[in-house]
């Protein structure tokens, strides 16, 4: 994952605050944002991620981005606590970054589903030969044979905000699980990481790096340019949902939240005039939200 910049939040795959050296800039990017309620549906997921599949596969690579390796995957595995022989399904698996850790944990069957055929093809290229792996191109929001009540545990990693219908997503995750089956959901923190609406700021008097939110309480669809600076026109859509809407969607989907963790950056700024403030900010503002849940 490329080094995070101090520019306003631009790409949810680049969430870190620490570039060190200069005070944070407050320049705003105006995004076209609107409530999804009553609006035309977001573009199909296939269109959203297939065109950027090669970029995302390269970004994540064999073992994950820096944030995957250092923060997201360790937390997912710790909270999931996969046991030998278990059947686990990774919903919105992308190019399959979680599959190897699940296999290494001894899972008896690992299923990955994703709406992007190209990302599923990338996952198959890496893990398709493993007899315990099953990979399917499927819309997580639509009925599917994979949502069959056969899995001990389900995961959805860094994808809830990429899915247009959160209730349908969680309902299908619940349907995929055995009764009381476990789920782990990790996502961009909905309170502090809102593309185009959350920024770092620098208070020169207090010498504090602060987090500024320009909007939070309205659900909104935010276009994300996957190659900032290049005129490729490749975009995905980030579906921001306030915390109450997110938690309610989980419950409406048939999952009961059992624990919540907020995950912080592992990165530390280089020594310099702002490093103390940056360090404090990294410890005070979480990047990701991790939830465990059970099928009700």
Which residues lie near ligand SAM (CB under 6 A)? 45, 49, 60, 92-94, 97, 114-116, 119, 139-141, 157-159, 162-163
Distance CA 231, CA 208 (A): 35
Q: Which is nearer to ligand SAM, 87 or 93 (CB)?
A: 93
Rounded to the nearest whole angstrom, what is the least distance from the CB of residue 212 to ligand SAM in the complex?
A: 25
Q: Which is nearer to ligand SAM, 4 or 24 (CB)?
A: 4
Measure Cα distances from 9 to 233, 259, 267 in Å.
18, 28, 17
Rounded to the nearest whole angstrom, what is the least distance from the CB of residue 168 to ligand SAM in the complex?
A: 8
**Among candidates 281, 226, 213, which has minimal Cα distance to 28?**
213
DSSP H or E stretch at residue 83:
none
Rounded to the nearest whole angstrom, what is the least distance from the CB of residue 238 to ligand SAM in the complex?
A: 9
Measure Cα distances from 172 to 107, 110, 145, 223 in Å.
21, 17, 10, 25
Rounded to the nearest whole angstrom, what is the least distance from the CB of residue 139 to ligand SAM in the complex?
A: 5
Q: Which is nearer to ligand SAM, 42 or 277 (CB)?
A: 42
Q: Which is nearer to ligand SAM, 19 or 52 (CB)?
A: 52
Can you say whether residue 166 is alpha, beta or left, with left for phi > 0 and alpha for psi between -120 and 50 degrees? alpha
Beta strand pairing status for 87-91 and 109-114? parallel
Q: Is there a contact between 91 and 140 (Cβ–Cβ < 8 Å)?
A: yes
Rounded to the nearest whole angstrom, what is the least distance from the CB of residue 25 to ligand SAM in the complex?
A: 26
Q: Which is nearer to ligand SAM, 198 or 209 (CB)?
A: 198
Q: Which is nearer to ligand SAM, 155 or 269 (CB)?
A: 155
Cβ neighbours of 213 (radius 10 Å): 12
Residues 6 or more apart whose Cβ sits within 8 Å of residue 254: 170, 171, 174, 175, 295, 296
Rounded to the nearest whole angstrom, what is the least distance from the CB of residue 191 to ligand SAM in the complex?
A: 19
CB nearest ligand SAM: which residue?
94
């Amino acid at each position: 994952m490329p080094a995070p910049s101090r520019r306003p939040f631009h790409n949810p795959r680049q969430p870190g605050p620490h570039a060190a050296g200069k005070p944070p800039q407050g320049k705003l990017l105006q995004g076209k944002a609107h409530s999804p309620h009553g609006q035309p549906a977001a573009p199909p997921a296939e269109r959203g991620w297939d065109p950027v599949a090669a970029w995302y596969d390269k970004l994540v690579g064999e073992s994950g981005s820096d944030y995957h390796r250092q923060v997201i995957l360790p937390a997912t595995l710790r909270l999931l606590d996969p046991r030998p022989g278990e059947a686990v399904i990774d919903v919105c698996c992308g190019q399959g970054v979680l599959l190897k850790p699940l296999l290494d944990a001894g899972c008896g069957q690992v299923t990955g589903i994703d709406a992007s055929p190209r990302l599923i093809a990338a996952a198959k290229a890496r893990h398709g030969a493993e007899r315990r792996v099953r990979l399917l191109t499927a819309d997580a929001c639509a009925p599917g044979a994979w949502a069959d009540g056969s899995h001990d545990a389900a995961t959805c990693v860094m994808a809830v905000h990429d899915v247009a219908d959160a209730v349908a997503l969680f309902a299908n995750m619940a349907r995929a699980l055995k009764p009381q089956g476990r789920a782990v959901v990790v996502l961009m923190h909905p309170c502090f990481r809102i593309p185009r609406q959350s920024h770092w700021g620098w208070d020169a008097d207090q010498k504090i790096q602060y987090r500024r939110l320009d909007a939070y309480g309205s659900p909104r669809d935010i276009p994300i340019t996957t190659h900032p600076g290049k005129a490729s026109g490749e975009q995905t859509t980030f579906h921001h949902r306030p915390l109450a809407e997110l938690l309610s969607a989980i419950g409406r989907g048939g999952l009961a939240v059992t624990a919540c963790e907020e995950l912080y950056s592992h990165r530390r700024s280089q020594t310099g005039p702002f490093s103390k403030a940056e360090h404090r900010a990294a410890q005070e503002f979480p990047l990701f939200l991790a939830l465990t849940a059970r099928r009700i």
